[in-house]
Structure 1
């Protein structure tokens, strides 16, 4: 065991598997466990792509197998020399049995952003809806989830119901 503060924290944070009593509740996120390469697109208000880069996303069981955590990085660590500094985001998701849904909190330290979501699995999808909308309702949606890939999008819906896509991630397993 690594006795450095970082090693101790990492060892306490991650888990090899969900606890048996949490396995069914965390099952919607099970196909996402592991590492992913990302093709990332950012969009302006009119839907035009304004930036493209590579990213990475790492999912794992956490907190003694009672939660799922992930870290996404964009641009990816290898792409930063070309695209500059970006964001490292941390999300922790846990199932709330009383709510019958996931509680999810995302931390974006570069800009000091904290967002909380309520998430529901669907048919081959997971939708997370922000709890504190500012001027728009924000949704983060995983679709087309498989063992080899998935799609993710960040969208806002204004009061009139107009949806604006802000980001799309196209994920695939890294080639070893």
Structure 2
């Protein structure tokens, strides 16, 4: 099959990328991510080294089963498409997560195309949380943590841990499900 039309190619890629559900043999392993599947509105805050909010905006985050149900993919956008005219051109981030049964954890790769930034993480579930620890050789250890996950919302934070163990929160997302469109 030869596809030369960009729109047709995008449709094929989207159809191949997204799955309706996880593979049955992976459903239990992926259960920590199941509540995240769908779309979320975000309140996004960035922090300086002293913990002061330096910037706030709206964002959006979309999660789906992917790659024949063998992965969880997400795209977060900040600022959201709805506020880009006033809040500027931010980042679109793509994450792919796979479960590694031999490792007993998730391998996760995040890509931010605006700055050509790639980070790899090892993800482990906790009680009502998922922690992703960066495996990048940065000056600080980066950790992304999902908490308080429920039907209507969750929280996420990006924190750095220095060699001395001090933690600095860099970013927080408060996620809520978008209101369903009215049926008028």
Question: TM-score, normalised to structure 2's length?
Answer: 0.94
Partner of 1:8: 12
Q: CA-to-partner distance for each residue in 1:37-70, whole Å, 9 max, x for gaps?
A: 0000000111000000000000000000010000
Secondary structure, counterpart of 1:40 in structure 2: strand
Secondary structure, counterpart of 2:97 in structure 1: strand
Superposition deviation, residue 153 in structure 1: 0.1
Partner of 1:55: 59
Partner of 1:121: 125
Write the distance in 1 (CA, Å) between the matches of 2:106 and 2:121.
Answer: 8
Which of 39, 45, 53 is the matching residue for 1:41?
Answer: 45
Write the distance in 2 (CA, Å) between the matches of 1:169 and 1:132.
Answer: 22
Write the distance in 1 (CA, Å) between the matches of 2:144 and 2:137.
Answer: 13
- Taking the TM superposition and a 5 Å limit, the aligned residue runs for 1:85-124 are 85-124=89-128
Write the distance in 1 (CA, Å) between the matches of 2:86 and 2:103.
Answer: 44
Q: How many residues align?
A: 175
Partner of 2:163: 159
Secondary structure, counterpart of 1:142 in structure 2: strand
Write the distance in 2 (CA, Å) between the matches of 1:128 and 1:70.
Answer: 14
Question: Between Structure 1 and Structure 2, whose CA radius of gyration is higher?
Answer: 2
Moved over 3 A (4+): none
Superposition deviation, residue 132 in structure 1: 1.1
Partner of 2:73: 69
Structure 2: gaps spanning 5 or more residues:
none
Superposition RMSD on alpha carbons, in Å? 1.1
Secondary structure, counterpart of 1:24 in structure 2: coil
